[in-house]
Chains A and B, each alone.
Chain A
């Protein structure tokens, strides 16, 4: 029988593209024979705009990169600027950064797990995850007044001191969080339909993951044992005791489920940080109003919820960055999609996309 391939444009506005991504898909029946992500619908030229802003004015721009994990972009940028300008960050500020970023990891992973659930049609599991995310967002709102774009981590420290009672609220959250994760594990990952939908789908082997620069949970799901918090320690991470969960099969199931264990590890880190944190200044002293680092360049990277997030900043001695470049984990992770999605069905394609958990603010920048 003569058959013809069907070309389907998924997106840029589609319930499952997690933002504005367009996928040009060729289908043979329901089988995907070719897939090409067309990116750039959310390109706002953030790296270019940064060249016309002072160093402090760039921080809110970084919020708009990975808008479900703004704290990371804030922090990665600030670390690069601090390295460039030689600023020493007070210890309390480092602890606060670790705490908010681990909370951010939880909030972001709730989005990742939730979208894996929603892509397979489990809308209730999605809302269970979002219930937890909501609690983290409430903590951030108490901290800095914003629920999505925080502008909280600033070059030299953090913007605000922890409000009264915040530490107790945070402890209450991390106490209930692991059991909520186990509930989701049982409710969604334990479900027979979810298992057949996720297991063995979109298999990414470790070598391909490394070759394509995949990082974060997407790579660790394939057994790539790489986590910057442990392997290139920064800030106060060496003081904490935590494990890096690893998957073995590199399928959607491992990629999605590993996020669940990472959240539980994040709770361990936050708990230790809350125990160790001591009073002190939260902003480096003697900072000029207008930062103008000496000419030079600096690169720094941190482990964001999506992988290795790096920021490269070049200074020409003026109060504005000469060039800023973001190494975006979401971009690199998305690039591997055509490698792993061909041969699966249309239903699987969107599950695979969701398991890579791209955020298009960061892909397109």
Chain B
């Protein structure tokens, strides 16, 4: 009973962290995009427009909840929740401090890779439930892309597991040494690229390509249900950045304790900014090019990195 209550408590904390992070992320993305695009971004409400969310969130909450007449109603209504939940769940295994995660499990790395990928099913369901050609195309694109990029993503994390000799994220943090950064630079790059593809962000945002598919798999969603899709996207950015900062970049290093958590968040925020910067700078790649890039560049490169780590491992 206690463990159930504790789990529920952490669940609430996780969702709040993701939702809060998403709100800050939206504001930050608008500032970053503005900076890149010769404009200011939000600046009217609060200092540097930081209270813009106070205007945005109620607007979304009070919007009419439109369900298209041809849609499959139950699937249409619940798909956004199934998109969001696995993404939010991924935050549970992230080691925020040495030896501490909300859910410190021996298979944490597998959990982190596997659970958010349930999102694919939910996206397909959402796309199909709308009975809209654009969203169906977007859903199919999302499915092929997300499944393909799981492979290099998992392979890029494998060297970490090999070095630490454990699938427990807190063990990865404990085993981390500074020379992992140069050794795993390639794996880190592959992890970043495949994560961006995994969360359907630019330049890999084909499933929601505005210029082709209007809004892709959430074309007919509006109001709060649409906002849940957005929250899932930002949640994915936040969790992948946190995970990368915690495992590839040494979590709180060079600090310990509370200062270490701050350092981790700063590293993750830098990665989030990098992801946004990439999106607002680069054009969008095409579907066939995207898949070819995955199988002919990323997967072999990830295998090479794995081989390198495998070869040097006995001498460490």
Contacts and interface: CB of A to CB of B under 8 A. Distances in A.
Pairing of A with B? yes
Interface of A: 6, 8-9, 14-16, 30, 117-125, 127-128, 131, 188, 191, 193-194, 196-197, 345-348, 350
B289 to A, nearest CB: 6
B283 to A, nearest CB: 4
A347 B286 contact: yes
Given A30-B287, A124-B37, A197-B284, 20 more contacts: A6-B133, A6-B137, A8-B133, A14-B214, A30-B137, A120-B284, A121-B202, A121-B210, A121-B282, A123-B37, A124-B36, A188-B283, A193-B285, A194-B283, A196-B285, A345-B287, A346-B137, A347-B209, A347-B212, A347-B286
Contacts of B286: 196-197, 345, 347-348
B116 interface: no
Which has the most chain B C-beta neighbours within 10 Å: A6, A194, A346?
A346
Nearest to B215: A15
Interface in B235-290: 280-289
Which has the most chain B C-beta neighbours within 10 Å: A30, A121, A196, A345?
A121
Contacts of A6: 133, 137
A121 B214 contact: no
A121 B280 contact: no
Contacts of A127: 37-39
A117 B202 CA distance: 14
A336 to B, nearest CB: 21
B283 A16 contact: no
Interface residues of B, number: 27
B211 interface: yes
Nearest to B34: A127
Nearest to A16: B211
Contacts of A196: 285-286, 289
B179 to A, nearest CB: 31
A197 B202 CA distance: 14
Contacts of B206: 347
A350 B214 CA distance: 12
Interface string B11-38: 0000000000000000000000100111
Given A15-B210, A15-B214, A347-B212, A121 B36 contact: no
Contacts of A346: 137, 212
Nearest to A117: B283
B203 interface: yes
B205 interface: yes
Nearest to A188: B283
B284 A121 contact: yes
Contacts of B282: 121-122, 191, 193
Contacts of A188: 283
B212 A191 contact: no
Contacts of A123: 37, 280
Contacts of B134: 8
A193 B284 contact: yes
Which has the most chain A C-beta neighbours within 10 Å: B205, B211, B280, B282?
B211
A15 B211 contact: yes
A350 B288 CA distance: 16
A117 B137 CA distance: 22
Contacts of B39: 127
Contacts of A348: 286
A188 B281 CA distance: 9
A139 B282 CA distance: 31
Given A15-B214, A346-B212, A121 B38 contact: no
A15 B212 CA distance: 8
A107 B288 CA distance: 34
A120 B206 CA distance: 10
A121 B288 contact: no
Contacts of A191: 282-283
Nearest to B205: A121
Nearest to A29: B140
12 contacts: A8-B137, A16-B210, A16-B211, A118-B211, A121-B282, A121-B284, A122-B283, A131-B38, A345-B288, A347-B206, A347-B284, A348-B286
A171 to B, nearest CB: 22
A6 B134 CA distance: 11
A-B interface, 10 closest residue pairs, ranked by CB to CB distance from nearest: A121-B284, A122-B283, A120-B283, A16-B211, A127-B37, A194-B283, A119-B211, A193-B283, A121-B283, A124-B37
A196 to B, nearest CB: 6
Interface string B193-216: 000000000110110011110100
B196 to A, nearest CB: 13
B211 A350 contact: yes
